[in-house]
Amino acid sequence: MSKISRRTFLKVIGSAAPALFFPKVSSWAGNNIKQSDTSKPNVIIILLDAMSARNLSVYGYPRSTAPNLERFAEHALVYHSHYSSGNYTIPGTASLLTGTYPWTHRAINHSGMVKQSMIEENIFRVVGEGYRGLAFPQNVWSNLIVSQFADNIDTLLPSGTYGDLDYLAGDLFSKDVNTSTRALDDFAFKEREQASLIFGPLLRALYFRNAAHLPKDGYPNGLPNIDRYPLYFKLEDVFDGLASLLPSLQHPSFAYIHLYPPHSPYRATSKFDGQFNDGWDPIAKPVHRFSEHSAGRSIASERRAYDEYLASIDWELGSLFDTLEKEGVFEKSYVIVTADHGEMFERGQVAHTTSLLYEPIMHIPLLISTPGQKTRRDVYAPTNAVDVLPTIAQLTGNPIPSWTEGVPLPELGGVEDYERSIFTVEAKKSSAFKPLDIATVALRKGTHKLIYYTGYEAEDSFELYDLEVDAEELNDLYPAQPAIAKKMKDELLDTFSDVNKPYLKQR
């Protein structure tokens, strides 16, 4: 009798667990629920939270953080100037799933939501006719957005599906995931300042007690966990679960997999822990007045931890890609690898909770393997997360909805437009129901990028960079290039004024 390896065992458990507890999952391998054209390719989005393109070797980063993504890129479309629409999970995810900018969908605050009138305007509904929708929002914040569209999703896997320790209360209320998560995990049993006097502390105590006893083999810095929420997981369990789940999808299916890593805390596996103790230092950049003013040494060590975590994730991605290859998934599916926002380790700022919109936070990976693709193709024209929805609409044979603010991606029905204007918006301090009064907006047009800060200081301010000659954004051209600055400023302010108009009326 052949010996069953731990990984094989975990794969079986990984795929069996959701099937046992969520009967709808078993239907993927079972009979058809919807009458559909099985010759249509599947569309699979694998989103890695907080993965900055700037830290990936596939995009030229000097540390070898993503050799498996480089391998994947050899049979994929590689978008070199792809931008997130927001700078953290809520707006970034909402933009990707609604094809609209944060100033339109209004999920702009921590724990924010897509506005009620737009609930039906989402990617699951767009591909819904004939496609079966599956979503696995491992990140609790992404679950807050995804669960708003639950009516259009055939199978919504809870955040803790492949977790090792899961104390999320919202997952227990499968018919009301969104509000129960907000009310319980995000309020009553919240990590800090819990509203519940009895169950809250008791749950936390139980969680910490059990977390302390979790085997941490292979994770010298502790197991990966969801920041602020009671959920621990191992990378191998999550990816092994996906390696079983994704090949079992019936055609045609649309799967949205929103993975929490490499979001902080950065927990590299022992294979990669310490791998980047290489003495390499990125270009020094001045501390920004709006940054948290983290010390340089701490920034460097955080960057190294992030890079090592990226390499650990890439290793698991490699295993997943091998399985997908072996099972013929690449032959019959669009596999999209992207992120909701990036991560920043410069200018006195660590991570992404900031009002700054520099490239490391906005520039995210986008690699798309089309069915049967054997060669690499590179796209350099600027694109945005809002373009994913119209592209998928087109790929799945559906009309592009009129409400989307994106356009189909080049090479997938769209054209390379280097002069197109694309935006990234940060407005977590503004009300979702009022004009954006405290915000940062970045406009990318051609090779230039204009950053607009409003509401932080007595006067609004701008920065202008030419990314072609100054990719590190060190030379602010705003005072030196008045003509370009004025043109872009006028466009940005006009757009900003337009998007705020509907809310001015409500004042």
Partner 1 sequence: MNFSKRFPSLKQLSSVYSVAVVIIYGWSIIRFFWRLPSFIYYSTVREIGVIFSYSITVNLLESLLVVSIPVVLSLILPSKWFFERFVARGVLLVLLGLGYMMYIGSHNNINEPFPYTLFRWAPLALLLILVLVFFMDRIKFLTRILEIVSDRLEVFLLISIPVSIISFIVVLVRNVF
Nearer to partner 1 by Cβ, of 196 and 319: the residue is 196
> Minimal CA–CA distance to 141: which of 186, 188, 94, 90?
90
Distance of alpha carbon 314 from alpha carbon 311, whole angstroms: 5
Nearer to partner 1 by Cβ, of 192 and 374: the residue is 192
Query: Which neighbouring-strand residues pair with 367?
Result: 78, 337
Distance of alpha carbon 423 from alpha carbon 405, whole angstroms: 10
Distance of alpha carbon 177 from alpha carbon 263, whole angstroms: 22
What is the residue-wise DSSP string for 73-93? HTTSEEESSEE-SSSSHHHHH
* Residues at the site binding partner 1, with contacts judged by CB under 8 A: 106-113, 116, 173, 175-176, 179-180, 182-184, 187-188, 191-201, 204-205, 208-209, 431-433
* Minimal distance, residue 226 CB to partner 1, in Å: 15
Query: Which neighbouring-strand residues pair with 231?
Result: 166
Nearer to partner 1 by Cβ, of 73 and 113: the residue is 113
* Range 301-304, long-range pairs (CB < 8 A, 24+ positions): 302/266, 302/345, 302/350, 302/351, 303/55, 303/345, 304/276, 304/277
Nearer to partner 1 by Cβ, of 6 and 209: the residue is 209
* Minimal distance, residue 206 CB to partner 1, in Å: 9
Nearer to partner 1 by Cβ, of 195 and 415: the residue is 195
* Minimal distance, residue 453 CB to partner 1, in Å: 20
Nearer to partner 1 by Cβ, of 11 and 106: the residue is 106
Contact (Cβ atoms closer than 8 angstroms) between residue 347 and residue 286: yes
* Minimal distance, residue 139 CB to partner 1, in Å: 18
CB neighbour list of residue 340: distance below 8 Å, 6 or more residues apart: 47, 49, 50, 84, 86, 88, 89, 92, 93, 96, 142, 258, 364, 385
Query: Which neighbouring-strand residues pair with 155?
Result: 134
* Minimal distance, residue 174 CB to partner 1, in Å: 8
Distance of alpha carbon 496 from alpha carbon 223, whole angstroms: 43
Distance of alpha carbon 231 from alpha carbon 445, whole angstroms: 41
Distance of alpha carbon 434 from alpha carbon 505, whole angstroms: 9
Nearer to partner 1 by Cβ, of 26 and 174: the residue is 174
* Minimal distance, residue 176 CB to partner 1, in Å: 4
* Minimal distance, residue 330 CB to partner 1, in Å: 39
Nearer to partner 1 by Cβ, of 184 and 351: the residue is 184
Nearer to partner 1 by Cβ, of 193 and 468: the residue is 193
* Minimal distance, residue 432 CB to partner 1, in Å: 4
* Minimal distance, residue 437 CB to partner 1, in Å: 12
Nearer to partner 1 by Cβ, of 68 and 139: the residue is 139
Distance of alpha carbon 186 from alpha carbon 313, whole angstroms: 27
Please give the angle made by the CA atoms of 158, 213 and 156, to the nearest 5 degrees. 5
Query: Which neighbouring-strand residues pair with 135?
Result: 156, 256
* Minimal distance, residue 193 CB to partner 1, in Å: 6
The SS3 call for residue 273 is: coil
